[in-house]
A and B are shown apart, each in its own frame.
Chain A
Amino acid sequence: MMSSQEIIKVGMADLNTAVYPDILTTLGLGSCVGIALYDPVARIGGLAHIMLPDSTQIKNNSNKAKFADTATIILVEEMIKLGAVKERIVAKLAGGAQMFAFNNANELMRIGQRNVAAAHSILEKLGIKVIASDTGENYGRTIELYTEDGRLVIKTIGHGIKEI
């Protein structure tokens, strides 16, 4: 392990990129979705912590990192600036939980599900393949994207640690 390895935090409604050997992380994803992108050849990673599915449905949409559609587009652009090649980029998704089990699952409570669907849809539009995901359920997730090999480590409270 290289000693200069940095851990770069991505906040809620935020995104960032990293090159090998750095690690991107976002803590406590609930209904939000972590969109992790990776170019395995250039070893460049990108991570977005999105809150809402669609920027076109919201008037105040200046914060591009908040929405699945705009965040993904910007993240890909930022990665390309660092030397990633779009055709090589693959995606992994985590989050989109339904934290509270409301019976009459209204629109608000299904937001996690909608965020996941929106992430899939924008990635498909961009021609980026989703190679693994850990989404839905009813628990929070902390995720770490390793630029070393693109593995995504998912930590939870009471639901173990997994790697996808």
Chain B
Amino acid sequence: MVDIDKLNHLHLDILKEIGNIGAGNATTALSKLINKKVDMKVPKVNILEFKNLADILGGPENPVVGVLLDVSGEIEGMMMFVLEQRSAHTLVNILMERDIHHISEFSEMDISALNEIGNILASSYLSSLSALTRLMIVPSIPHLAFDMAGAILSVPAIEFGKVGDRVLLIETEFAEGIDRVVGYFILIPDIKSFKKILSSLGVSV
């Protein structure tokens, strides 16, 4: 069993690099989808206590859109794509060719579009991870929720809660130029899968 608290700098750097490659592929996919340039920030590996978890998304009550995929195969866990509310609206507006600043309730069509965006991005993230590690990764169909950040993040947090008191997130922020679409990819491997990922890359834990 891997203890999150005992991961060293090398391990964290490798997990960061995985975030980098995965998110790099996903932002390329997003860029093609909306036909605009998308910039990505350097991924962060965050090890957080439960009570601080929602801070990365603007606090526990901040409204966010989360698209969750269950990951199975040789790596198990969850993949989550999270957008702040405003960014979700902007992204859908770009996709639907509406006025960028238009905000109303998400329509069924908007939800469906966000679901598909989440699906495409998460899948391209995971397929690059699979190519890199040569491990089989099978994502489930995407599931979307629009709610408070704390409530959305409780789902992966509970998974980590079964084995410890901290959460490890590989977080990548991207931004679509002037329209400021800011989103996060959060890869939440099951604890056993850390070891598999790291050892597939020739690093012992």
Q: Does A32 contact B (CB under 8 A)?
A: yes
Q: Which residues of the partner chain B approach A102 to less than 8 Å between Cβ atoms? A: 70, 140, 143
Q: Which residues of the partner chain A approach B144 to less than 8 Å between Cβ atoms? A: 100
CB distance from A47 to the nearest CB of B (A): 14
A108 close to B159 (CB less than 8 A): yes
B155 close to A100 (CB less than 8 A): yes
Interface string of B50-89 (1 = CB under 8 A from A): 1111100001110100101010000000000000000000
Q: How many residues of B contact A (CB 8 A)?
A: 34
Q: Does B7 contact A (CB under 8 A)?
A: no
Within 8 A of B (CB), among A117-147: 138-142
CB distance from A157 to the nearest CB of B (A): 6
Total cross-chain contacts (CB, 8 A): 106
Interface SS of chain A: loop
Q: Does B164 contact A (CB under 8 A)?
A: yes
Q: Which residues of the partner chain A approach B158 to less than 8 Å between Cβ atoms? A: 31-32, 51-52, 108, 111
Interface string of B143-170 (1 = CB under 8 A from A): 1111111111111011101111100000
Interface string of B20-53 (1 = CB under 8 A from A): 0000000000000000000000000000001111
A13 is contacted by which of B54, B149, B161, B163 (Cβ under 8 Å)? B161
CB distance from A85 to the nearest CB of B (A): 30
CB distance from B121 to the nearest CB of A (A): 17
Q: Which residues of the partner chain A approach B70 to less than 8 Å between Cβ atoms? A: 102
Q: Which residues of the partner chain A approach B162 to less than 8 Å between Cβ atoms? A: 52, 58
A52 close to B161 (CB less than 8 A): yes
Q: How many residues of A contact B (CB 8 A)?
A: 32
A139 close to B151 (CB less than 8 A): yes
A140, closest chain B residue (CB): B151
A27 is contacted by which of B61, B152, B155, B161 (Cβ under 8 Å)? B61
Task: Give complex CA distance A139, B144 in Å.
Answer: 12
Task: Give complex CA distance A62, B147 in Å.
Answer: 30
Task: Give complex CA distance A138, B155 in Å.
Answer: 12
Q: Which residues of the partner chain A approach B60 to less than 8 Å between Cβ atoms? A: 27-28, 142
A157 close to B157 (CB less than 8 A): no
A99 close to B150 (CB less than 8 A): no
Chain A to chain B contacts (Cβ below 8 Å), 29 pairs: A12-B53, A12-B150, A12-B154, A27-B59, A28-B148, A28-B153, A30-B151, A31-B154, A31-B155, A32-B154, A32-B157, A51-B154, A52-B161, A58-B163, A60-B163, A62-B165, A99-B152, A99-B155, A100-B155, A101-B143, A102-B140, A102-B143, A111-B158, A139-B147, A139-B151, A140-B148, A142-B60, A157-B63, A157-B148
10 further interface pairs, Cβ-Cβ under 8 Å (given A12-B51, A28-B149, A111-B158): A27-B150, A30-B150, A30-B152, A31-B158, A66-B161, A99-B66, A102-B70, A138-B145, A142-B61, A158-B146
